[in-house]
Amino acid sequence: MSFTPRGKYFEEFQVGQEFVSAGRTISEADLVNFAALTWDTNPMHTDAEYGKTTMFGERIAHGMLGLSYAIGLIWQSGILEGTVIAFRGLEMKFKGPLKIGDTMQVIAKVKETKAIRDAAGMVVIDLRVVNQRGETSYQGDMNVLIKGRGASTSAA
């Protein structure tokens, strides 16, 4: 049995096209586990009493935790499954915090496409991470190399 990608091929990405991910709620366990995994034990993420003294008034999620979840949510949407060749770059601005109990979602909008060879092309996707109130927490560009229709259909 061969793998059939459900991801979009380069030719299927159109400038202005938008995809919205499922939601994911940030939990205290997420902060604790991410701190343990990365050794980033900044009290802004790990100390409830310290968090109360910050401009946010409580602990906030690690920026890289939210970013990691954002990439995972895009992957879960299926648009890249089996068709992404390479993750080429990411430029992200952190505009607001994600807090324990926030449900984040990713709005991905195709910003640019550029064919670079017969079987592939670059796709620049504007990623916007929003919370349940529609407030933007992160925004930036993800640059990926995507298979064209003429490429091999084996898993990427």
- CATH code for the domain of 137: 3.10.129.10
Q: Helices 63-77 and 28-38 meet at what angle, rounded to 10?
A: 110
- Within a domain: 115: yes
Whether residue 103 contacts residue 134, with contact meaning beta carbons closer than 8 Å, is answered with: no
Q: Is residue 1 part of a domain?
A: no
Pick from 20, 40, 21: nearest CA to 30: 40
AA identity, residue 49: E
On average, the pLDDT of the chain sits at 93
Establish if 23 belongs to a structural domain. yes
Residue 133 belongs to a domain:
yes
Domain count, the chain: 1
pLDDT of residue 45 exceeding 80, the answer is: yes
Residue 97 has pLDDT above 90, yes or no: yes
Instruction: Kindly state whether residue 5 falls inside one of the protein's structural domains.
Output: no
Strand ranges, E, within 27-96: 84-94
Whether residue 154 lies inside any domain: the answer is no
pLDDT in tens, 120-131: 999 999 999 999
State how far the Cα of 17 lies from the Cα of 33, in Å rounded to an integer: 35
pLDDT, average across residues 51-74: 97
Determine the structural domain holding residue 21 and report its residue range: 10-147
- Residue 152 banded pLDDT, cuts 50, 70, 90: low
Average pLDDT estimate for 79-84: 94
Residue 156 lies in a domain: no
Percentage of the chain modeled with pLDDT above 90: 88
